[in-house]
Structure 1
Amino acid sequence: MRSIRTLLGVLAAGACATAVAPTVAQAAPTAPYTALVIDDTQVGGDDTGSWNGGNATMVPMLNPGDQFALEARWSEPSGPKSTRVDVWPPYGETLQEGRTYPASTWPGPGQARLYVDALQCVSDGVGSVTVRQVRRDAMGELTAFAAAYDLHCANRTEVVDGEIRWNSDEGYSAVLPSGPLDFGRVEVGRAPVTRTETFASKGSGDAAFGTARIEGADPAAFTISGDTCSGRVLPTGEVCAVTISGAPTRGRVQTATLVMPDNTGYGQRTESLTVEGWEGVIGTYYPLTTPFRLMDTRNGTGVIGRPIAPGEAVELQVAGRGGLPTGGLSAVVLNVTVTGPTASSFLTVYPADEARPNASSINFPAGWLGSNNVTVKLSADGKVKVYNRAGYTHAVVDVSGFYAGSNWFQPTPPLGAQYHPLTPRRLFDTRTDGGAIPARGSQQGWVDFGAALSPKVRSLVLNVTAVAPAKAGFLTVWSGEGAVPAASTVNYGAGKVVPNLVVVKTRACVDCGRAYAVPSFAVYTSQAANVVVDLVGVFDDGTVTDGLRFTPVSPTRIVDSRTGLGLPGALGANVTRAVTTPPALVTSATRALATNVTAVSPTRNTVVTVWPADTGAGKPGASNLNPGVGEIVSNAVLTGIGPKDRFNVHNLSGSTHLVTDVVGSYWLYPATASQPGSSATSPFTVLAAGHRTR
């Protein structure tokens, strides 16, 4: 609002202007109308309002040649205020009812003058004036005038618009918005921020609205989440509201426009929407350089130095150990090994501050030696509990990485890895290529994703299987840098077929026979054994298109074919069934699940394979579980889900019951999504793979 000023000289320099007597104040606009409506919210002004004799002193002024101006004057606690609009016809013309004139700050041939006090332009303003009514006396002088107008600076698109009435019986609608909405700084992928735009009806007649919409540069960053305006006729004096949710899709400033059609002369209200997106690390993965042993009940590392008793849950501190941050972790990736159990049982690993779930992390018979990859949510103070169902057993826990749960810490590198599930692909099988790895021997494996993507691989997700080892022992999978770490990945008995999932940090191999460095890893075996390695996913450097981030949950059972949960019964030979993920565990952004799949008492030695459903892809030539007859065997499975939130499970031979527990979900991160709502098809394609003796 601008302070009141001398008007006659401003109206026309050097000309004599006639000021018509001010209109008498009145409680509400009634015919004949003398009113001024201005909406300058688009330009960030403060002159938006609807004035008439009831709330302001209205001062119309007329110069020769239909040079008309109308000013509203009123008082505020800060002092007297005023605002004004001038309308002049083009040179040599008079204002004609029913005509729409192109207009600018100064008139010219065929162009009217339109001056709006609320709009200050560096160069000329450009707009239009639509004359609704003109009345003249016998001398041809104006006695009544009505018009609608709009004006914007020549180098901008933001408009000031409104209505003018003087002694007119032409009614008018006035809609006054509350102004542009700034959502501030919001993290991409987190909860949206809401703001509310109000629209007030201030004309002589009701305001009528169409349907609100969002358009402009970045409409996907904003959503209409509440609306009491669209399709409504709003009586004079009432207010309605449109609520907008701002959720940035990129790590930058994003803008859009809220458009509300109305029955004003301009035909709509348009208000700018602005949000500044920033990319955090929540849900990204950070691999450790080498796995770290958190717990070993055989020697008291981390916890008690004795077997875990029946029904006992031991508490294990995870955060702040082995290079893990002291806080800000949502979940960790563990390898849990069972050795020397006295009875058939299972272990459940779960957040220490939550009730024990009806789920298992690793299942085993008496006397068993084996391990399983376990992704587990942490308690608020960075702890887990390890529960043993029956008998006594020793347990060993190694950690290989963690998922970020907050942005307060600054790890190195600062941006964590995002996951890309792949169609399972066999990288190598020593049974058909090179023969068994000798005891205390190792092999280096590598994968080529092309010159552009290979350097962006931070970790590989592998299903590693020990096949018919000569003696009981273990495999260790690591980046290949330095000595073999004191941690195991697959623990096996003599002659068994034992798989385990591993998320392994890679190193760049510059001498793997490619023209550029490719990601590589190493596999060590303590006893002579054949080894099969299947690639099931990739963790990138946080920048690759359509990367996924992780949200952990307490282990949640979604399949138990023994009771009909998720599957109607045991899977027969060569049978595929689809499992639907419960709605509580997925959102529209979910693209993959972290699960623990258990085969229960198969009638024959078999192979279980899991892959996304409803995508048109056939069963991949890779396995997730290789259970023997009568065994209860678990393995971690990271599987994509199809457009119906389903995944397939296939049993090769005999029949077997299946149990599946979900420990978290992977969701499409908007800042790297190729487009909003993308299906997240991974850009990683294996061009070549190989292995060699180290």
Structure 2
Amino acid sequence: MRRIRTLLGVTAAGACVLAGLPSVALAAPTAPFKVLTVDVGDQTGGYPVYQSGVYDTGNSNLSLTPDSLDRVSVYAYQQSSYVNLRTEPPTGQKWVEGQTYRAGELADGTSAGLSLASDGRGCGNTSGSITVREVGRNLETGLIEKFAASYDYSCPGGTNSGMISGELRWDSSVDYVVAHGSPNPVSFGFQELATRSAAKTVTFTSVGSKPITFGAASIGGPTPDSFSVTSSNCSGRTLAPGETCTVSVVTHPVKEGVHTGSLLLADDSSTGTRRVQLSVEAFRGVTGMYYPISPARLMDTRTGLGAPKARIGAGKKVDLQVAGRGGVPSSGVSSVVLNVTVTGPTAASFLTLYPAGQSRPTGSSINFPKYWLGSNNVTVKLGSGGKVSVYNHAGSTDVVVDVVGFYAGNNSISSRGWGSQYQWFKPSRLWDSRTDGGALPGGYYTDGPVDFGADFSPRVQALVLNITAVSPKKAGFLTAWDGVGDVPKSSTVNYGAGKVVPNLAVVKVRQEWNSSKGYSLPWFAVYTSQTSNIVIDLVGVMDDGTAPDGLRFTPLAPTRIVDSRISQGIAGAVGPGAVRKVTAPANLVTDATEALAMNVTAVSPTNNTVITVWPADYGMSKPSASNLNPAAGQTVSNAVLGVIGPLDAFNVHNLSGTTHLVADVVGTFWLYPGTASAATLTRAAATERPEVVDSAQRVTRRG
């Protein structure tokens, strides 16, 4: 407990706090020493001393008062402030050199007494220890006149926890090894939950009479998982008195509220460790949340929208302004979800979309043959000025870019409200016109709800769908949207006559009340410009940010993890009916990672085939849904949100013939601790995912 105390008959006057860290000599002090050192360590609450200090005859008025019971009281005065250390041996005993005593607030038959106070601030119910290094008594009076001791001291309970340590020397020639860390405490203030702060640097200064040698830096205290050491130039070094070194620390809290920890730096002092208080107050923010928007066109090289009115040539790029256009905020965005369409390429090629201002990665975003018409869902990190670079490898081609949503890069866009978190599903078929109503006529759209049950349905903000056009009569396009108003002037799937063309789409929904069920359902629509069969598979949901076990997104520059042509990730081509297991590289995932945002490419399959991706090591059977439907000899790609199992792996199945596969990762989805149902950040089991109750109530409407 905290209390104001009167020590040894001296009433503490004034309530001012020590003005700052007392000045320390840059050279080693010389024996005999008169010094009191106080290292506040990781003691919190400012009791009984606010700041570390070295009090000697050069910066303080020092006095020592002994008595016949071997009690010692040392005062260090600086102007109107003071620090007082009082200690006494166990009742009925005298101090013995070389002995370490357990200590409490008051001495008793087995414990020494130890008390520390400053400016009227003290502690009760204290604990600690004191090790006596030297005792010298006056031959006539028997009173102590030389004394050397090391101590540690704490005020347990309440907000006061941790350890204070120090050294006392009075007319003693016994050397002492001490270092102090500054600043102490280190407060990170308010920090968004599950985000990483900027680093704060602690400087350790050797303030003893002889050099100090440091060991490893680490984190301890009540909530060590909220902090990390990012660098240290102290470890393994020996500092002479006056020399310094630094340790840098960050915070990344995983729970709301106030969290405290300790920066620990091992050393060869009497206590063996330097301690610095760490604190942070964590709050829920929006970083990593998804915000669906109505589809909007950002670029069309055929008309000069957003780029010059010209095809993108071989080895050329266009820097597309994204931030501040089409419903995307001008700042605070980490990445955007785009639908990228290629039309009329003069050669087989690929596009790579990547952050403007950065080096072009080796990964690809969309792969296509000569004369191809098609599209791909692309998630891409924004670069310099909120721009995205669009690079074409070979030939020339027109490119159309539509935006359908964005991810928050920081909490600055929280004024827009709570965004969405991703919920993954085992891929499941919602609708297949080949078995339910036949081909959808050109100029019409299919509209309908998806029922996830009373608890989850009202929380759905967008659906993550794999939408496939199957054998359309003529070349055209599909557009998926929430069904509100006219069909948007954007496309989701672009197809050629007679082709099978899939594309991943994040589709904003509308919520409509269902009186028979007693809750609202999410609806979406898909329009076709030409008569075509349509297959719709569900792979995930963007919720309202409150459902348990939602995932948030961190973007990456495209990073290749699979290229079976060079046996990267998969050794050689994948044969008919074969399943290959791909393990995500350790540098891309953490214990909280549950899914990879990827671009998966089938390279020159020998037959028409179907590629399916699903999580490994969950005991989950292969889904009936597909991710890619490449024709023989084609090189085609599709976006895949690939869920990884408990061993960081996913499965890939090839239906027919043989094909090479390439996979590029553009970001990771991770379990957000603010809505995680588990006490620890472990992946939710596959059996715990939400499920589709019904999706059969679709209707056909004229567009």
Does structure 1 residue 525 correspond to structure 2 residue 528?
A: yes
Q: Distance in 1 between matches of 2:440 and 2:251?
A: 56
* Structure 2 counterparts to residues 87-102 of structure 1, below 5 A: 87=87, 95=94, 97=96, 100=101
522-531 vs 52-61, which deviates more?
52-61
Among 669, 681, 693, the residue aligned to 1:688: 693
Letter in 2 for 1:84: N
Q: Match for residue 271 of structure 1?
A: 276
State the secondary structure of the residue aligned to 2:458: helix
Indicate conservation of the 8 Å contact 2:599/2:663, yes or no: yes
Q: Distance in 1 between matches of 2:124 and 2:588?
A: 57
* Structure 2 counterparts to residues 84-483 of structure 1, below 5 A: 84-87=84-87, 95=94, 97=96, 100=101, 103-104=104-105, 114-118=114-118, 120-121=120-121, 124=124, 126-127=126-127, 132=132, 141-143=142-144, 150=153, 152=155, 156-157=160-161, 160-164=164-168, 176-178=180-182, 179-187=184-192, 188-190=194-196, 192-196=198-202, 198=204, 200=206, 202=208, 213-226=218-231, 242-250=247-255, 252-259=257-264, 269-277=274-282, 281-288=286-293, 290-297=294-301, 301-303=305-307, 313=317, 316-339=320-343, 346-351=350-355, 353=357, 360-365=364-369, 368-384=372-388, 386=390, 394-409=398-413, 412-413=416-417, 415-483=418-486
Q: Distance in 2 between matches of 1:261 and 1:356?
A: 44
State the secondary structure of the residue aligned to 2:696: strand
Q: 1:440 to 1:157 in 2, by over 3 A?
A: same
The alpha carbon displacement at 1:297 in A equals 5.0
CA offsets per residue over residues 40-59 of structure 1, 9 Å max, x none? 45354357445567876653
The alpha carbon displacement at 1:436 in A equals 4.0
Among 489, 497, 503, the residue aligned to 2:492: 489
TM-score of the pair, normalised by structure 2: 0.78
State the secondary structure of the residue aligned to 1:691: coil
CA RMSD of aligned residues (A): 4.5
The alpha carbon displacement at 1:273 in A equals 0.8
Q: 1:260 to 1:312 in 2, by over 3 A?
A: closer
Letter in 1 for 2:626: S
Q: 1:151 to 1:549 in 2, by over 3 A?
A: closer
The alpha carbon displacement at 1:231 in A equals 8.5
Letter in 2 for 1:639: G
Q: How many residues align?
A: 666
Does structure 1 residue 498 correspond to structure 2 residue 504?
A: no
Q: 1:308 to 1:456 in 2, by over 3 A?
A: same
Letter in 2 for 1:180: P
Indicate conservation of the 8 Å contact 1:126/1:154, yes or no: no
Q: 1:600 to 1:120 in 2, by over 3 A?
A: same
Q: Match for residue 15 of structure 2?
A: none
The alpha carbon displacement at 1:532 in A equals 2.0
Indicate conservation of the 8 Å contact 2:81/2:119, yes or no: no
Q: 1:47 to 1:475 in 2, by over 3 A?
A: closer
Q: 1:302 to 1:606 in 2, by over 3 A?
A: same
The alpha carbon displacement at 1:243 in A equals 4.2
The alpha carbon displacement at 1:566 in A equals 4.8
The alpha carbon displacement at 1:686 in A equals 1.0
Q: Distance in 1 between matches of 2:383 and 2:235?
A: 46
Indicate conservation of the 8 Å contact 2:154/2:161, yes or no: no
The alpha carbon displacement at 1:65 in A equals 5.5
The alpha carbon displacement at 1:502 in A equals 0.4
Q: Distance in 2 between matches of 1:46 and 1:314?
A: 58
Letter in 1 for 2:524: F
State the secondary structure of the residue aligned to 1:220: helix
Indicate conservation of the 8 Å contact 1:209/1:261, yes or no: yes
Letter in 2 for 1:516: Y
CA offsets per residue over residues 597-654 of structure 1, 9 Å max, x none? 2323322221111234455544332211112233333222221345665543221011
The alpha carbon displacement at 1:83 in A equals 3.5
Q: Distance in 2 between matches of 1:311 and 1:159?
A: 63
Among 610, 613, 631, the residue aligned to 1:610: 613
State the secondary structure of the residue aligned to 1:517: strand
Q: Which runs of 5+ in 2 are unaligned?
A: 1-5, 13-26
Q: 1:426 to 1:207 in 2, by over 3 A?
A: same
Indicate conservation of the 8 Å contact 2:70/2:95, yes or no: no
Q: 1:597 to 1:129 in 2, by over 3 A?
A: closer
Q: 1:349 to 1:258 in 2, by over 3 A?
A: closer
Q: Distance in 2 between matches of 1:607 and 1:570?
A: 14
Q: Match for residue 624 of structure 2?
A: 621
Q: Distance in 2 between matches of 1:72 and 1:485?
A: 77
Q: 1:65 to 1:316 in 2, by over 3 A?
A: closer
The alpha carbon displacement at 1:692 in A equals 1.7
Q: Distance in 2 between matches of 1:391 and 1:39?
A: 69
Letter in 2 for 1:598: T
Indicate conservation of the 8 Å contact 1:349/1:384, yes or no: yes
Q: Distance in 2 between matches of 1:361 and 1:64?
A: 84
567-576 vs 111-120, which deviates more?
111-120
Q: Match for residue 682 of structure 2?
A: 678
Q: 1:421 to 1:349 in 2, by over 3 A?
A: same
TM-score of the pair, normalised by structure 1: 0.79
Q: Which runs of 5+ in 1 are unaligned?
A: 1-5, 13-25
Q: Distance in 2 between matches of 1:466 and 1:595?
A: 21
Indicate conservation of the 8 Å contact 1:443/1:691, yes or no: no
Identity of matched residues, %: 48
CA offsets per residue over residues 552-603 of structure 1, 9 Å max, x none? 4454555444555554433221122244556776667654333222323322
Q: 1:201 to 1:652 in 2, by over 3 A?
A: same
The alpha carbon displacement at 1:162 in A equals 4.2
Letter in 1 for 2:599: N
Q: 1:166 to 1:313 in 2, by over 3 A?
A: closer
Q: Distance in 2 between matches of 1:296 and 1:490?
A: 16
Letter in 2 for 1:271: V
Q: 1:543 to 1:189 in 2, by over 3 A?
A: farther
Q: Distance in 2 between matches of 1:389 and 1:209?
A: 54
Does structure 1 residue 633 correspond to structure 2 residue 658?
A: no
* Structure 2 counterparts to residues 532-551 of structure 1, below 5 A: 532-551=535-554
Letter in 2 for 1:333: V
Letter in 2 for 1:373: N
State the secondary structure of the residue aligned to 2:38: strand
Q: 1:7 to 1:297 in 2, by over 3 A?
A: closer
The alpha carbon displacement at 1:676 in A equals 6.4
Structure 1 or 2, whichever has the larger Rg, is: 1
Letter in 2 for 1:272: Q
Indicate conservation of the 8 Å contact 2:472/2:498, yes or no: yes
Q: Distance in 1 between matches of 2:200 and 2:665?
A: 32
Q: Distance in 2 between matches of 1:652 and 1:441?
A: 32
* Structure 2 counterparts to residues 497-516 of structure 1, below 5 A: 497-511=500-514, 514-516=517-519
Indicate conservation of the 8 Å contact 1:250/1:672, yes or no: no
Q: 1:606 to 1:198 in 2, by over 3 A?
A: same
Q: Distance in 1 between matches of 2:226 and 2:580?
A: 38
Indicate conservation of the 8 Å contact 1:84/1:117, yes or no: yes
Q: 1:154 to 1:650 in 2, by over 3 A?
A: closer
Indicate conservation of the 8 Å contact 2:83/2:119, yes or no: no
State the secondary structure of the residue aligned to 1:510: strand
Letter in 2 for 1:455: P
